[in-house]
């Protein structure tokens, strides 16, 4: 007769583990003490051995929420989980029971029926099968197959080899070598051979000063074949430069300052600041003097002011960008090595300082939509490069010093 808890279970007292060595079932315990109490479920190996051993002591039996509060005559359910790890699958029959005891007096309680399960001999053998044999056997079979094919394959005639080579050459376009080129130059070169520059995957890595802003790696590699319109991924070299101080600088001077440092101007944020007049930078990220890779975008906050959009139709990209220095060239389309044929907003319009401007150049074929419209980091880096060229071309050429009479030839 139960002293504290009347224990029952709908599960079979003898059960079978699944292929993973697991089993789950429930037991029900009813409080028969006549008062509220706290009960705890504890798994016990049968028979009890000294020192303790068996399924319970090996940790194979686990009980969810083993300690529960019982009101008078209340029933509670305990979930019992059996899990025999592969490394512990020792063949044999195991028995255990579940004791439900008083938390206040752990040696007083009642025991469930005895449950039994078997770890069969076959489980142990399967668990210790050396799995490394499978991939080794596959490699041996593949190697034998390749060897037989090489030995037994018919040797092609010279005419067949010539045809195969010719067919391979005509299967795609030859990828040009872009090493040492700027993004703008690479874009023009690829356009001429019906390939495109993957402007969404332009990577930059620290490099030698002479490789700064020039392509140092590409995928696919030079001279490989590629289908028409294939996007070519490039990596651009970058030297480390210090970000200049731009706070307090009029926005129309920022473009030149950053281009000379080989840095990129981001789309500015326009916000008022009573400490600064209109169209002046009052915040920047990264901050001044921070060392970054060339080609890094510098984001600015500028005080508001309305400006007039210049008319840049007929200008080259570099000169157009310099003319639009109070605004931001956000995107352009067509062949940007030619002159602007249209712009938006149009010349003469009044817009907030730093507003985005879109330029259009004469149409050229594009493939897969990749090269139709340029935007994002590609536009910013090409802008930096073209502005640098335009600044250099606008600077007056220094005259060579006159030769002194009688000076020996160098």
Q: By the 8 A CB rule, do 115 and 13 touch?
A: yes
- Give the per-residue pLDDT at 131: 65
Task: Provide, for the chain, the percentages of residues in helix, strand and coil under a 3-state DSSP scheme, each rounded to the nearest 5.
Answer: 25, 30, 45
The residues near 175 (Cβ < 8 Å, ≥ 6 apart) are: 195, 218, 220, 221, 222, 223, 224, 225, 226, 230, 232
- Give the per-residue pLDDT at 291: 93
- Give the per-residue pLDDT at 86: 78
- Give the per-residue pLDDT at 365: 60
- Give the per-residue pLDDT at 132: 66
Low-confidence ranges of the chain (pLDDT < 70): 48-53, 89, 122-132, 149-171, 364-372, 393-410
- Give the per-residue pLDDT at 317: 87
Q: How far apart are CA 176 and CA 120, in angstroms?
A: 67
Q: How far apart are CA 243 and CA 289, in angstroms?
A: 5
In this structure, what DSSP letter does residue 104 have? S
- Give the per-residue pLDDT at 129: 58
- Give the per-residue pLDDT at 93: 85
Q: In the chain, count of helices (H) and strands (E)? A: 7, 27
- Give the per-residue pLDDT at 57: 77
Which structure tokens are listed for 52?
A: 């303790």
- Give the per-residue pLDDT at 192: 83
- Give the per-residue pLDDT at 165: 38
Q: How far apart are CA 381 and CA 336, in angstroms?
A: 13
Q: Which has the closest alpha carbon to 334: 371, 378, 385, 377?
A: 371
Domains of the chain (ranges plus CATH)?
Answer: 5-127 (2.60.40.2310), 240-394 (3.30.10.20)
- Give the per-residue pLDDT at 10: 82
- Give the per-residue pLDDT at 193: 87
- Give the per-residue pLDDT at 139: 76
- Give the per-residue pLDDT at 277: 95
- Give the per-residue pLDDT at 401: 52
């Amino acid at each position: 007769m139960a002293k504290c808890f009347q224990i029952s279970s709908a599960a079979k007292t003898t059960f079978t583990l699944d292929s993973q060595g697991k089993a789950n079932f429930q037991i029900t315990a009813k409080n028969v003490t006549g008062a509220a109490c706290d009960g705890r479920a504890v798994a016990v190996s049968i028979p009890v051995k000294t020192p303790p051993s068996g399924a319970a002591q090996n940790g194979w039996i686990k009980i969810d929420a083993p300690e529960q509060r019982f009101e008078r005559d209340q029933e509670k359910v305990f979930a019992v989980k059996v899990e025999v790890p592969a490394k512990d699958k020792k063949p044999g029959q195991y028995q255990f029971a579940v004791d439900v005891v008083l938390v206040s007096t752990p040696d007083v309680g009642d025991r469930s029926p005895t449950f039994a399960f078997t770890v069969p001999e076959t489980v142990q053998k399967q668990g210790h099968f050396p799995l490394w044999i499978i991939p080794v056997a596959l490699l041996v079979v593949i190697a034998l197959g390749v060897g037989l094919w090489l030995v037994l394959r018919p040797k092609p005639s010279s005419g067949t080899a010539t045809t195969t080579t010719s067919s391979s050459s005509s299967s795609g376009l030859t990828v040009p070598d872009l090493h040492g080129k700027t993004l703008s130059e690479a874009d023009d070169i690829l356009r001429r051979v019906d390939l495109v520059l993957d402007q969404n995957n332009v990577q930059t890595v620290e490099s030698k000063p002479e490789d700064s802003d020039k392509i140092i790696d590409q995928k696919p590699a030079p001279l490989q074949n590629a289908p028409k319109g294939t996007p070519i991924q490039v990596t651009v070299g970058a030297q480390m430069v210090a970000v200049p101080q731009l706070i307090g600088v009029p926005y129309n001077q920022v473009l030149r300052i950053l281009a000379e440092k080989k840095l990129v101007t981001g789309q500015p944020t326009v916000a008022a600041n009573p400490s600064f007049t209109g169209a002046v930078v009052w915040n920047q990220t990264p901050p001044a003097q921070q060392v970054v890779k060339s080609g890094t975008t510098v984001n600015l906050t500028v005080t508001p002011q309305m400006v007039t959009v210049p008319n840049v139709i007929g200008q080259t990209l570099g000169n157009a960008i310099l003319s639009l220095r109070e605004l931001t060239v956000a995107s352009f389309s067509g062949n940007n090595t030619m002159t602007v044929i249209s712009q938006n907003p149009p010349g003469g319009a009044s817009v907030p300082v730093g507003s985005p401007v879109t330029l259009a150049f004469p149409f050229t074929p594009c493939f897969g939509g990749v090269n139709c419209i340029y935007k994002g980091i590609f536009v910013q880096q090409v802008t930096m490069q073209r502005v640098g060229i335009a600044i250099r071309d606008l600077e007056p050429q220094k005259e060579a010093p006159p030769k002194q009479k009688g000076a020996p030839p160098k």
